[in-house]
Structure 1
Amino acid sequence: MMQRRFLILFLALFTAACAWFLVRYGGGVGDVLRSAQRGIEYWVGLNPVLGAVAFLAVATLGKVTPFPGGIVIMLAGGYLFGNIVGPLLAATGAALCALTVGYFGRILIYEAIDRRFGHRISHLEEAVTEDGFNWLLAARLLPVLPAWLVNLVPVVFPIHLGKVFVATLLGLLPIAFVLGGIGSSLSGLAAAEFVPSDILFSGEVLLPLMGLAVVALAPVLVKRVRRARRRRRQQGR
């Protein structure tokens, strides 16, 4: 009962915070960046280390919500910190976000999800948990599923949070470097808003990511094939 009340309170505060953000910054992320661009650039130039820490915090907390913004964050990282450090910070922030959602999600919303959908996904638990690292890595490499939805997978399935962090970090690094490289060539932070959102679906970007996803899932396929062969041999004895 106490956990349910805490969950209701958390959701109420979360909803209120999101509503305030939308009302306060209703003009869009681009307007916020445009109005703050000079101050951000000047401050980061004077405090590069502290600026990197602040950006890491923004990259972490900014992806806790389901509101899209990952592309803008990666572009801004490239613009502010270059095409090497920027992508590393953005991918690390996303990995920390996945870690945060996984940890607190298990405390706050696991029971509610299990009651509602547990009987429908129970047959997937063993497979997803056993090869959770590979599945998460493939899901992060392919920019198809929303990040917030993938973040919920470790909440539902008991995947080790260390694997969640590493899989998210490695899976998002290629995308982060692509967008960070674009961000480093932008004329200003507000220009990030006008970069086409479907840029990751171009053939030159998507095909290599699909290849990496196949490589990530190859160990799972090999394991399943070997297991199936072993079962057939045992049945044939």
Structure 2
Amino acid sequence: MPTQQRTQDAAISTRVALISVLIIFIGSLFALFLVYKTFPKVTDEERQFIKLPWNIEDAKQLGIVLSRYKTDHYFQVMTGVFITYIFLQTFAIPGSLFLSVLSGFLFPFTIALILVCTCSALGASLCFLLSQLLGRKLVLKYYPEKAQAWAHQVDKHRDNLFNYVLFLRITPFLPNWFINLTAPVIGVPLVPFAVGTFFGVAPPSFVAIQGGQTLQNLTADDFAISAGSLTWLAVCGVVPLVPVIFKGWFKEKLE
């Protein structure tokens, strides 16, 4: 195939990918709009707090409003949190951490944890799929060194990708948005990626949801990660590596 033809095909492919992502984004915005429009009627004072939480104060005010309507509109409130969380994760928009805190305030701990893990896994998987459409060129253009370094690590852990994804989700070495965008580019399969994300976000979500239990009294200073939380995350981060270490040890013994 002539070089010019390949260039034209690549340009068409990129254009199709851009249009597809744009359509998906507009459709997602429309879903958020429907959630907002179908929410029970609120007062003018309350309406100002019905917005995406960008900080702990936003989450606190939103939580206070939603808690007033949760008893009579339980599934409506949960659906709103669910769709909003997935939207933020899908398009790598900051704010999902505060939705985790909000979930801890609105729902019982177990339900909040399952909700956050499910939303994280679904949203990250959708971001993964969008990255397959468009992300390769963006990642290789803006983060070539990081992508190459992570690709090398993925190759080293090819036989233990679930444990490796689990480790990455628990520990803060790579930001979640970078993992979501880069994973399909460097050959991480979707299934271990999604399952590893579901279980991997549980320990940090545990900390955020616990904070949500006392959201009304929580301040930005209180929200700073404590030494106990860091210890908890460190222990949880080591656990996924234990089977890998033992597997390598037994392999060496057998050889």
Q: Quick one: distance in 1 between partners of 2:53 and 2:117?
A: 27
Q: Quick one: distance in 2 between partners of 1:93 and 1:71?
A: 12
Find the counterpart in structure 1 of residue 192 from structure 2.
163
Alpha-carbon contact 1:78-1:184 (below 8 Å) kept: yes
Shift of 1:155: 1.7
Match of 1:62, SS? helix
Find the counterpart in structure 2 of residue 58 from structure 1.
84
1:75 to 90, 101, 110: 101
Alpha-carbon contact 1:84-1:177 (below 8 Å) kept: no
Find the counterpart in structure 2 of residue 186 from structure 1.
215
Match of 1:63, SS? helix
What TM-score do the two structures reach when normalised by structure 1? 0.73
1:217 corresponds to 2:248 = no
Alpha-carbon contact 1:79-1:180 (below 8 Å) kept: yes
Unaligned runs of 5+ in 1: 19-24
Find the counterpart in structure 2 of residue 4 from structure 1.
14
Alpha-carbon contact 1:64-1:148 (below 8 Å) kept: no
Cα distance, 1:218–1:152 mapped onto 2, change above 3 Å: farther
1:203 to 201, 218, 227: 227
Q: Quick one: distance in 2 between partners of 1:180 and 1:120?
A: 35
Q: Which has the higher contact order (CA 8 A, sep 6+)?
A: 1
Match of 1:220, SS? helix
Shift of 1:225: 3.8
- Give the residue type in structure 1 aligned to 2:16: F
Q: Quick one: distance in 2 between partners of 1:3 and 1:44?
A: 46
Find the counterpart in structure 1 of residue 110 from structure 2.
84
Alpha-carbon contact 2:90-2:127 (below 8 Å) kept: yes
- Give the residue type in structure 1 aligned to 2:105: Y
> 1:87-108 CA deviation, whole Å, 9 max, x = no partner?
2211211111111111221122
1:172 to 176, 191, 201: 201
Alpha-carbon contact 1:91-1:172 (below 8 Å) kept: yes
Q: Quick one: distance in 2 between partners of 1:27 and 1:52?
A: 16
RMSD after superposition? 3.5
Shift of 1:76: 0.3
More helix by share: 1
Q: Report % sequence identity.
A: 20
> 1:131-182 CA deviation, whole Å, 9 max, x = no partner?
2211110111124432212223422233332222221111111222222122
Alpha-carbon contact 1:87-1:176 (below 8 Å) kept: yes
Match of 1:155, SS? coil
Q: Quick one: distance in 2 between partners of 1:3 and 1:226?
A: 47
- Give the residue type in structure 1 aligned to 2:132: R
Alpha-carbon contact 2:139-2:182 (below 8 Å) kept: no
Shift of 1:129: 3.4
Alpha-carbon contact 2:91-2:127 (below 8 Å) kept: no
Q: Quick one: distance in 2 between partners of 1:112 and 1:67?
A: 16
What TM-score do the two structures reach when normalised by structure 2? 0.69
